[in-house]
Structure 1
Amino acid sequence: MRAFFSLSIVSVITLGSLLTAVFPNFRFLAEPIPHSVASAPAKKRVVFIAGSCSHGAGEHEHKAGCLLLAKRLNETMPALEADVFTEGWPAHPKAFDNAAAVVIYGDGGEGHLINQHLEAVQALMKKGVGLACIHYAVEVPKGTAGTYFLNWIGGYFETFWSVNPVWTAEYKTLPAHPITRGVKPFTINDEWYYHMRFRPQMDGVTPLLTAIPPASTLDRKDGPHENNAAVRNEAGKPQHTSWCRERPDGGRGFGITGGHYHRVWADDNFRKLVLNAIVWIAKVDVPANGVPSATPSKEEMGLNQCPH
């Protein structure tokens, strides 16, 4: 049972002094923190970080996508509790307390939210916290960030190596893995990045979604994201667009290159795969038939989208 009080500033200060005198370890927090941090960590926390608006209507709807996924997890996975932070990297010092997994869905490249927080994330990874990156969030600059991503999640989008065309991917078969539980072969149109930079010999990396991109995906002129000689040399070969990694230290990572269009979250198989992956990187058992997830209505899909 909770009690709510309305106190003046003077009352708060007086009460604080009294409590401090009686209880030396008592302290006030300057700002609210997520409810799951304030309480005993009975559940594993999933911290969603949603990037800001950057594209047209129905594209890169990071906030709407994160809130939808978090809602499904909170509804159906009692072992987890999901919190969503929007519009930038969480500023609260306790934002990552008790986190079992971090999910980033936002713009990447030079403007990736993680670029200024690599060492802080590395500290989380050393604790075994899982990391999932969705769509543009799999792209980081080559160098320090790219090297970290190869370790944390197994691969990333490297400019002048990987490409980002829009195409219809047919996923005809799926490997046996906890992340694919309950997921059926599916076909979906999206901006599927491919020819990703993976760890050498795919060391410790498990491909989850694999398809053959059509020749039309190589029609564009050469550029940092559009086309290059290396990807042309692999024309007609299967390409991995989603994968996972279990690190030697026990930490887990997941990447998926789709998610440009908000409509993909209405696809039951696409959504289930990502929900399964989040549960898996948090080291919670994925249900035998995958994470239960009701198909969102048209009205729900329209919630929390960027203003246009």
Structure 2
Amino acid sequence: MRPLFSLFIVGLLSVGSLLMAFFPAPTVQPDPVPGASVPANKRVVFIAGGCSHGAGEHEHKAGCLLLAKRLKQAVPTLETEVFAGWPTAPNAFDGAAAVVIYGDGGDSHMVLKHLESVNALMKKGVGLVCIHYAVEVPKGQAGNYFLDWLGGYFETYWSVNPVWTAEYRSLPKHAITSGVKPFTINDEWYYHMRFRKNMEGVTPILTTVPPASTLERKDGPHEGNPAVRAEAGQPQHMAWCRERPDGGRGFGITGGHYHRVWTDDNVRKLVLNAISWVAKADVPAGGLASSKPTQEEMGQNLCPH
């Protein structure tokens, strides 16, 4: 009996080996470690201001939606969300790597009622991007915060806001300028911004010499002043970035008055690069690629007029 039993066992083992060869056992994944979580994608929170100007001007919502869409397409690891007005949801900034503000500034700036909560975000290393009018806040507490968060801001009776054609003939070597070529474009380019003393921690991104025609207006809170006239003919910075000691980053650009500027491949790439850089996401050597918006897309989400 024993020889027969041994042969029977050997046969079973042989058959089992054949079955395993053709039908391997499924791979069993290890149980997750308690408390561990899959790293979430970085979030970029866009905050769009309301309507305040004529058609095609200060189209904050349309601009934010367009930029958020192109950013997500170019950097799939970035999650984007656009809020119309300051978000009221308590978890709106959870996991935010960067906040982009594109809206009216000055005394009606959205951030003025939220300075301390935004400062708390900045202390956590969250980045900040401000576009066009959003770079203007009142001098004092808000201005001091912007000097820290962004490195500079529009200060009334110091900075000016003319509409002119800027020629950016050369660009500094920086992740934000990756793939961006020298360009010329007409916009409301603010300049003579209030920057940190000695430009400490601030890197100019767009610099050129404004023409004399930009100072033809009489002195006023936005139009002209003795300080800016004393610097006539000197280079001025229209976009800049800052790396803060807390690890956070900031970027400000004074253009963006006209919605049409987002059809310019270089302007769009520069701002998309900047948002990605501020969020500490990778910026490829050629910059973030994005398709030129169609005429139909440029007509979407505009303010009613």
The verdict on a shared fold, with TM-score over 0.5 as the criterion, is yes
Distance 1:230 1:174 in 2: 26
The letter of the residue matching 2:292 is T
What is aligned with 2:68? 70
What is aligned with 1:178? 175
What is aligned with 1:51? 49
The letter of the residue matching 1:168 is T
**Which TM-score applies when normalising by structure 1?**
0.86
Match for residue 246 of structure 1 among 243, 247, 260 = 243
Helix, strand or coil for the counterpart of 1:235?
coil
Distance 2:288 2:123 in 1: 27
Distance 1:59 1:179 in 2: 25
How far 1:288 sits from its partner (Å)? 1.2
Query: What RMSD over aligned residues (CA atoms) do the two structures have, in Å?
Result: 1.0
Distance 1:227 1:165 in 2: 9
The letter of the residue matching 2:43 is R
What is aligned with 2:271? 274
Are 1:131 and 1:281, in contact at CA under 8 Å, matched by a contact in 2? Answer: yes
Match for residue 152 of structure 2 among 147, 150, 155 = 155
What is aligned with 1:139? 136
**Which TM-score applies when normalising by structure 2?**
0.87
The letter of the residue matching 1:156 is Y
Helix, strand or coil for the counterpart of 2:67?
helix
The letter of the residue matching 1:276 is N
User: Are 1:42 and 2:40 counterparts?
Assistant: yes
What is aligned with 2:165? 168
State the 4+ residue runs in structure 1 displaced beyond 3 angstroms.
none
Distance 1:164 1:203 in 2: 24
How far 1:182 sits from its partner (Å)? 0.5
CA shift digits 1:260-292 (9 cap, x unpaired):
000000000000000000000001111111111
Match for residue 96 of structure 1 among 93, 97, 105 = 93
CA shift digits 1:35-77 (9 cap, x unpaired):
xxxx976210000000000000000000000000000011120
What is aligned with 2:20? none
Helix, strand or coil for the counterpart of 1:263?
helix
What is aligned with 1:21? none
The letter of the residue matching 1:63 is K
Helix, strand or coil for the counterpart of 1:220?
coil
What is aligned with 2:298? 301
User: Are 1:113 and 2:79 counterparts?
Assistant: no
Alignment of 1:221-260 (within 5 A): 221-260=218-257
Alignment of 1:204-219 (within 5 A): 204-219=201-216
CA shift digits 1:72-97 (9 cap, x unpaired):
011120120110000x2100000000
Distance 2:123 2:244 in 1: 10
Distance 1:98 1:41 in 2: 11
What is aligned with 1:18? none
Distance 1:112-1:63 versus aligned 2 partners, 3 A rule: same
User: Are 1:84 and 2:82 counterparts?
Assistant: yes
Match for residue 261 of structure 1 among 253, 258, 261 = 258
The letter of the residue matching 1:54 is S
Structure 1, unpaired ranges of 5+: 1-38
Helix, strand or coil for the counterpart of 1:273?
helix
The letter of the residue matching 1:80 is L
Are 1:41 and 1:98, in contact at CA under 8 Å, matched by a contact in 2? Answer: no
Q: Which has the larger radius of gyration?
A: 2
Are 1:265 and 1:271, in contact at CA under 8 Å, matched by a contact in 2? Answer: yes
Distance 1:80 1:256 in 2: 21
Are 1:102 and 1:130, in contact at CA under 8 Å, matched by a contact in 2? Answer: yes
The letter of the residue matching 2:76 is P
The letter of the residue matching 2:56 is G
Distance 1:244 1:40 in 2: 31
How far 1:105 sits from its partner (Å)? 0.1
